[in-house]
Structure 1
């Protein structure tokens, strides 16, 4: 796994764009990298493709917001996203947001695989290819990042919106001139890290009284052989800032003791100050092999 010092591009701090499907994805999947790069003085942007309207609401007092009741969760989660991005110090854009006409987003959360949300004509998975790619391309051109970070081709865990986000982001970059095209990276977890996290969680006594279950079964598709992960951001000091941002995503995330959290499924997970990445081929979406000798990795690694 390759590590590196902070990146300077033509004498200036790096500019990074993280592309995610829903509010809170940015902190759960890439919060360490976002916090680390902001602290390093880099310019960090987050593009969110939908407002997570189909999300399951954890606090009982906010259950009325969900899609089966008031269907106002998207507006609420937009505010959560603003709070999280302010806390972490990153720039935030929602795809297709237009305050001038009162539009919060262009596309809508499609829901988990097999749910009815995907049937909505506004669903992100039903988005017109040309329009979706053009919208993401416009944001990339506006930000002019040195690199773009999103999900792998399986969307991390096969969530339809995550898969769509990967697909549209990759196609947007593939359509750009090769000489000015930012590098594309995906979040991937080394298998040894995933197993270590399960081993650690199994002995954290404090979570046993919370009613949370331990993760079991197969790892998600984003957990890969260690050698596939060519870059890492390892910064334990970033966790405090990551947690501060996650506190704003209270409809979706419950924070626990000792860097633990759970989503609406009540399965405990761990915030441990490290994230793995690999550069992707924009044509195939497949991870590229380790860097050739002398090539400088664009992601910072260890503090």
Structure 2
């Protein structure tokens, strides 16, 4: 029987970077996948020189461009997109809050300043309409502690809190990476000659982000090499944010090399408490 999934992400490109394999895998199975994006990534750094005028433009020209990138990426993955504050998903639009300490976070329309009861009601309305079997978002630290990722986690919980027990999804997951994978991927990347593409890798002893956890905390894994073409097409769609160096190697504007894999991990949690789901 086909399932329905809703994934909640902070900015365009997050859906592909963290869940591209999962989205494409479920679409290929015949499942219905919805991706909610909370902002248009107005504070993003622009990589291609011919588009650099979009970065920091006072009229937020980057927002419209990234909306187009998101649409192309979702088309490649086969998912249905929803933008918070657009297309009937709530009336209040939220802007990218930037990294920790950014002046963008002080703006009243910054996503970090969203009224979670109001924004949660918009997301809850979508959940009631779609009635997903599965809801996926970040862990409480937002994967790598970006303020908007943390707020997307809070938004998801606020929406779930507004649902009756009979309206809750059957399964709720946070996005996690097993430490074994993270170590393997970092070692692989160091051996993939990233400098040949103008990229660098973190040191072997550099800390992993908070979403990298002990292997036993990862309760579910999606691993599907058949999704590679769709994921790569989606990564390339996000041209302002992602460098696709090879089919196995990509980077963001910081030029830190990342391995492009066909595997993604998740931890099942209680939708009310966000504690790990009992075995």
Q: TM over 0.5, yes or no?
A: yes
Equivalent of 1:245, from 234, 242, 257?
234
1:190 aligns with 2:191: no
1:201 aligns with 2:189: yes
Instruction: Report what 1:294 is aligned to.
Output: none
1:1-303 superposed matches below 5 A: 8=1, 13-98=2-87, 106-182=93-169, 183-205=171-193, 207-216=194-203, 217-289=206-278, 291=279
Once the two structures are TM-superposed, the CA of residue 37 in structure 1 deviates from its matched residue by 0.4
Q: Deviations over 1:60-99 (max 9, x none)?
A: 1111112255421111101111111111111111011048
Indicate if the aligned counterparts of 2:128 and 2:167 stay in contact, CA closer than 8 A: no
What is the CA RMSD across the aligned residues, in angstroms? 1.5
Q: Deviations over 1:187-223 (max 9, x none)?
A: 1000000000011111113x22112111231000000
Distance 2:76 2:20 in 1: 12
User: Stretches of 4+ moved more than 4 A in 1?
Assistant: none
Q: Which consecutive residues of structure 2, in runs of 5 or more, have no partner in the other structure? A: none
- Normalised by the length of structure 1, the TM-score is 0.87
Distance 2:270 2:248 in 1: 34
Distance 2:125 2:272 in 1: 19
Q: Size of the alignment, in residue pairs?
A: 274
Q: Which consecutive residues of structure 1, in runs of 5 or more, have no partner in the other structure? A: 1-7, 292-303
Distance 1:70 1:252 in 2: 19
Distance 2:198 2:55 in 1: 23
Distance 2:162 2:121 in 1: 10
Indicate if the aligned counterparts of 1:215 and 1:269 stay in contact, CA closer than 8 A: no
- Partner SS, residue 179 of structure 1: helix
